[in-house]
Chain A
Amino acid sequence: MSKQHTEKTTKSGVSRRNFLTAVGVTGMAVAGGSLLAACTPKTITSNGTAPAAPTNTPQLPSTLTIAQGTDVEAWSPYAHSTTTTYGLWQNMLEPLVDYDFDKGQFRGILAESWSTADDKLTWTFKLRQGVLFHDGTEFTANDVIHSFNRILHDKDSKQAPTINTIASMSAPDKYTVVIKTKGPDAALLQRVMSRHITSEANFKKYGTAEEADKHPTGTGPYVFMEWQRGNRFVIARNTKYRDGAPAIEKVSYKPIPEASTRITALEAGEADLINTVPPHEVDRIKSSGKLRIESVESLRMMFVPFNPSFKPLDNKNVRLALIQAVDVDSLIKNVLDGQAYRMTTPVGRQIFGFDPKATPLPYDPEKAKAMLKEAGFANGFSIDFYSPNGRYTKDLELSQAIAGMLGKVGVKVNVKTPEWGIFASQLEEGKFPMYLIGRGGVVDASEYLAQYWETGVTKRTSFSNPDVDALLRSERQTFGPDRAQQLQKAAGKIYEEGAALFLFTYQDNYGAKANLEWKARPDEYMLAGGAKYKA
């Protein structure tokens, strides 16, 4: 009786109320959300908020929101080594030289001209005169020396390796900088490219690097406005810029690490320009009507270095067999939807030192099998292949496909994917027999070739070949037009030796509003300077 009573009251009273309450609360939450969405304008000008574009401006938007996968790391423009962060700073801080990708040569930004002395160690940079920092002070040679010294000696500098061939610097007059290198270094321009110049006067004004860096002062087309870490980095146009003020008034860089969220933010109008659109999402953006894809061949070269200190990779024929067992064209077509450019030499197509006449080894699994048999591996062998996972577009998929292809010639490949922190340090220690890696930010092949294949520079490959060493040394001492040939020869020898399986350079995809005119650079820098909206 009591039980029946309990059940009855339960059913008729409490549970219904509870249920209704629950439904009510949930309903209110949903309705509240909708209401919020419905009643709030996209841009607000109310109390405490920044005003939107002034009403007297034309219909075209005056602001640009750029969403990229990474955030600025630190206040110091020298405390990072991230390509996208270089691009962000370059809106405010300028380098001595930049690379003109259309012409395939360096051009002066803060440097007007440069020359080298017969000793092959002395570089003289003549600086542009009358260039003003954002605070109105004049840019001089001392600012260059101050900035380079910070890069070389700041405790938190992550760019010291880039200019560590510099032995000394001097300023004979206000507009001349003389740099002496430790040894002949014909590729110095690549080293000083992206080395951003900050104001020495500003540094002295604030006394410490920590304080001065919170007031970034450069000579670029944009001036610093605000940085909320993890949230946004805002810059405004420099109305007094020497080449004319840029078209966009205010630019906001927003870090959105997740690619799918970045794409949705673009679709929803929260961002006007985004980077790193994965190949499989390109059609989604193209088909939207209001958006467009801006593509460019990236500088980033993808390759699989072989470490000859691991057997049987010490055998050149084994390395060449592995190279011929991989169908790179198929990888590009099937894994990357055709959005990559095959490397035919160790140097990418847009990089100084590329040899347009070079032809790659053909895909020939039968020949690979025969070569392995000849080398004493008729039954193949087993090897560990290390791959990043999520660092580069479709990296793991590529590694697995390569493993599959090598499996067909009898090589049992174990794909291993340590987390990037482990990967990067073990790579430096030379612990991998073969691994997938990308190298970006290279416009001159000199430093990159030495880093991987010159004896003793790093442990990344433990590769050592006296001919390659001699060619690379001679290339660094060649200051004339013959240097390209020297680099091509060195690269050719590296290729001939089967030092690595060279794959491709990526196609970088950017998503943009259809009415935004903006040109992507191959070096992943997202500069706002040339951007403008069209009617």
Chain B
Amino acid sequence: MLPYIVKRVLSAIPIVLAISLFVFMLMHLAPGDPVTMMLGEGATQADIARTRAEWGLDQPVAVQYGRFLANAARGDLGTSMFFGDPVGQLIMDRLPATVELTALALVVALVIAIPIGVVSAVRQNSLGDHLGMSAALFGISMPSFWFGTLLIFVFAGRLQWLPASGRLPDSVALRGYTGFLLIDTLLTGDFRGFLLVCQHLLLPGLTLGASMAGILTRLVRSSVLEVIRNDYVRTARAKGLVERKVIWKHGVRNALIPVVTVLGLQLGFMMGGSIIVETVFAWPGLGRLLMQAVSNRDYVLVQGSVLVLSTWFVLVNLIVDLSYGLIDPRIRYS
């Protein structure tokens, strides 16, 4: 398997490079100018020209890209034009918040999608199936902006059970080692802190997980439906296996491959794509950072973030491909 992994990682390098070149060109071709955004309302033409020169934006695009690549190869992603901090540090500061949110969303999605999808498939066209599919359609179609605001209104505003925003209350300062608050609180044995972190995670996690759950539920259903009609499932029943085993061991397990594939893609999207949820819940994650970077035309930060996110995407897909072997032992890597 090792040669396979090495081959995959090596083949990912040109992909990541191509993505970064594409994004670089796109950012420079798109209308808008970072310096105008930086200097604000009072800037004159002379100020704009001076700042452009200071940031090297008056250089040809090819030179700018070459410089970016040379620095990136040395592990230096540059300094954000808008935030003034090193891009690597900005991303690392925001990454834990997004990873925790994505992880919870994933759990929410799986916990909802697998049972409902399987039940809907096994009891096709029953009332439960219709209800399950309607719920899935609801999950897919409702905008996360609306759902998030609704959850905030009900659980934070009216019931006041859960907080409306952020990762922690203002009165709390946690000792941190990793930046992952769930892990930090467990490491320091701060159980109450852990509960607080969970409280803050719940609403954004549900919002982000709900739309993914919708997609996955439909996928699980159709995939299970396809599998349980196969001969080997009939054989399993014929040999007298308990129905639960027939469905879970022979049905669901074999139905998982497309589900895991889509899950991997969704996971990739969620890392950079949870912009709306992060904005609604004032969640200090990568999505919001990327949005601020794009809207302020912070070329350096956009470029660095895209490099990190595309690497993440490639990595997740590699993990997905490797997990096929665990799901179906017949799959070999060469």
Contact = CB atoms under 8 A, between A and B. Distances in A.
B170 to A, nearest CB: 4
B61 interface: no
A258 B295 CA distance: 16
Contacts of B198: 36
A65 B289 CA distance: 23
Contact of A258 (B47, B170, B280): B280
B281 A261 contact: yes
B128 A15 contact: yes
A75 interface: yes
A228 B284 contact: yes
B284 A231 contact: yes
Contacts of A256: 165-166, 282
Contact of B243 (A2, A9, A63): A9
A39 interface: yes
B170 A232 contact: yes
B119 A421 contact: no
B84 A75 contact: yes
Contact of A26 (B40, B112, B234): B112
B166 A48 contact: no
A230 B289 contact: yes
B239 interface: no
A260 B199 CA distance: 20
Interface stretch (A139-147, A265-273, A304-312, A373-381): A265-273
A233 B95 CA distance: 19
B36 A428 contact: yes
B149 interface: yes
B153 interface: yes
B42 A270 contact: no
Given A37-B199, A40-B192, A265-B165, A48 B175 contact: yes
A254 B84 contact: no
B162 A50 contact: no
A13 B237 CA distance: 13
A15 B170 contact: no
B29 interface: no
Given A25-B115, A441-B41, A49 B282 contact: no
Contacts, number: 258
B111 A226 contact: no
B169 A270 contact: yes
Contacts of A267: 157
A267 B158 CA distance: 9
Contacts of A44: 171-172, 192-193, 196
B189 A40 contact: no
A254 B284 CA distance: 11
Contact of B242 (A13, A36, A74, A160): A13
Interface stretch (A93-101, A173-181, A451-459, A509-517): A451-459
Interface stretch (A16-24, A195-203, A289-297, A394-402): A16-24
A49 to B, nearest CB: 5
A49 B173 contact: yes
Interface in A41-57: 41-44, 46-50, 52
Nearest to A34: B161
Contacts of B79: 156
A173 B63 CA distance: 48
Given A76-B84, A232-B170, A39 B111 contact: no
Contacts of B122: 10, 14-15, 18
Contact of A48 (B82, B164, B169, B185): B185
Contacts of A261: 149, 152, 164-165, 280-282
B39 interface: yes
A11 interface: yes
Contacts of B82: 73-74
A315 interface: no
A422 B248 CA distance: 53
B118 interface: yes
B199 A48 contact: no
Nearest to A39: B195
B244 interface: yes
A36 B165 contact: no
B157 A36 contact: no
Interface string B265-302: 00000000000000111101100110000111100000
A42 B36 contact: no
B177 to A, nearest CB: 11
A519 interface: no
Contact of B188 (A17, A47, A67): A47
Interface string B14-40: 000000000000000011110011111
22 contacts: A15-B119, A17-B244, A18-B247, A34-B161, A36-B162, A46-B191, A48-B175, A73-B82, A74-B84, A74-B85, A82-B40, A160-B50, A161-B44, A162-B42, A230-B285, A254-B166, A255-B282, A264-B157, A269-B160, A419-B295, A426-B31, A428-B36
Given A228-B284, A420-B295, A428-B33, 6 more contacts: A36-B162, A37-B199, A73-B84, A229-B83, A270-B165, A440-B41
